[in-house]
């Protein structure tokens, strides 16, 4: 018997329908399956369970890339394979489309085993992010798949942020914010700030300023062995966001440290996953 946790988009009717279909099929095959409480879907309350996804053998995500991020956060670094069923526009992270037959076939292939060549794992680098205040007291600790962002809190103002790389000062930025992203996150917020697109097969840290009020506006692509510290300078309040979720406010002297996590996200792939082909479709690129 295999344990399967299902994470659904909280406001998508089709996701609720697929969740019920998936769990009905799984239980009919003798597997243990439930909807995670973190999905917060009232109409699936009869299928919900308090067990964390980390106790499962497989997590199925029903939604878009945002739901995949939610599932990754619920796993909190646990090495559980994650299968994404796409109900969004075009998922960078998901594997199959929102079709009942495709979903069931994908889950059935997972049970056939990696040894039989039915699936592989696409392992993605993550970030550990920690914030301390000016006195060195702990403020928060988080893990990100896409990025950590230190940014302005007030509209119409920049913040001043000093960047240190491996403890050595690099430069200070006057900007709307700074993004520290993984290669997976290079096609998220970092891309909108004109950061580079980096293959998720790489391990790297990307530092991208947001609307910098200075001549140096380039992204930095750093080795994964390097750590990044961002210190808030001056009296303007900054904030921290992790994968788009606001976490806390930071005052002068506070420091945010970003470094590669020992944990990785593990996505189930049923065939060859060509990241550049997803990118091509996303941006409507054509062969020349």
Domain parsing of the chain, residue ranges:
3-119+270-282, 126-263
* Region 3-119+270-282: CATH code: 3.40.50.10330
Whether 101 is catalytic is no
Mean pLDDT of 5-23: 90
Question: Starting from the edge strand earliest in sequence, which strands make up the sheet with 238-242, in order?
Answer: 220-222, 205-210, 177-181, 147-152, 238-242, 245-250
| Chain mean position to CA 218 | 23
Instruction: State pTM to two decimals.
Output: 0.92
- The per-residue pLDDT for 40 is 65
Tokens of 261: 């996590």
* 64 neighbors 32 (Cβ within 8 angstroms): no
- Mean pLDDT on 235-254: 96
| Residue tagged active-site, from 32, 40, 57, 65 | 65
Q: How many CB atoms lie within 10 A of CB 91?
A: 22
How does pLDDT run across 39-63, given as a tens digit for each residue?
Answer: 667 788 889 999 999 999 999 999 9
Indicate the average pLDDT of the chain: 92
Instruction: List, in sequence order, every beta strand (DSSP E) within 166-269.
Output: 168-175, 177-181, 205-210, 220-222, 228-233, 238-242, 245-250, 255-269
Phi, psi of 136 (to 5 degrees): 90, 5
How many angstroms separate the CA atoms of 52 and 137, rounded?
30
pLDDT band at 19 (very low <50, low <70, confident <90, very high): very high
What is the C-alpha to C-alpha distance for residues 245 and 275, in angstroms, rounded to an integer? 25
CATH number, span 126-263? 2.60.200.30
Judge whether 3-119+270-282 and 126-263 match in fold: no
Distance CA 63, CA 261 (A): 25
């Amino acid at each position: 018997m295999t344990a399967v946790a299902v994470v659904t988009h909280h406001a998508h009717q089709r996701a609720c329908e697929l969740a019920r279909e998936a769990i009905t099929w799984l239980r009919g095959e003798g597997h243990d399956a439930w909807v995670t409480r973190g999905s917060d879907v009232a109409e699936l309350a009869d299928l919900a369970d308090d067990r964390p996804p980390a106790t499962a053998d497989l997590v199925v995500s029903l939604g878009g890339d945002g739901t995949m991020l939610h599932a990754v956060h619920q796993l909190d670094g646990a090495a559980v394979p994650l299968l994404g069923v796409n109900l969004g526009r075009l998922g960078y992270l998901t594997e199959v489309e929102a079709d009942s037959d495709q979903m069931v076939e994908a889950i059935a292939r997972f049970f056939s085993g990696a040894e039989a060549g039915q699936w592989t794992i696409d392992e993605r680098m993550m970030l550990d992010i920690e914030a301390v205040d000016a006195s060195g007291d702990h403020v928060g600790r988080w893990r990100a798949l896409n990025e950590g962002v230190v940014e302005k809190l007030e509209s119409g103002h920049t913040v001043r942020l000093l960047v240190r790389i491996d403890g050595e000062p690099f430069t200070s930025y006057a900007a709307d914010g700074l993004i520290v992203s993984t290669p997976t996150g290079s096609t998220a917020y970092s891309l909108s700030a004109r950061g580079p697109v980096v293959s998720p097969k790489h391990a790297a840290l990307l530092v991208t300023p947001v609307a910098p009020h200075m001549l140096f506006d380039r992204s930095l692509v750093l080795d994964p062995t390097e750590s990044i510290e961002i210190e808030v300078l001056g009296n303007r309040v900054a904030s921290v966001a992790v994968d788009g979720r606001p976490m806390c406010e930071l005052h002068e002297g506070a420091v945010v440290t970003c470094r590669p996590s020992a944990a990785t996200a593990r996505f189930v792939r049923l065939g060859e996953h060509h990241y550049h082909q997803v990118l091509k479709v996303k941006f409507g690129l054509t062969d020349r």
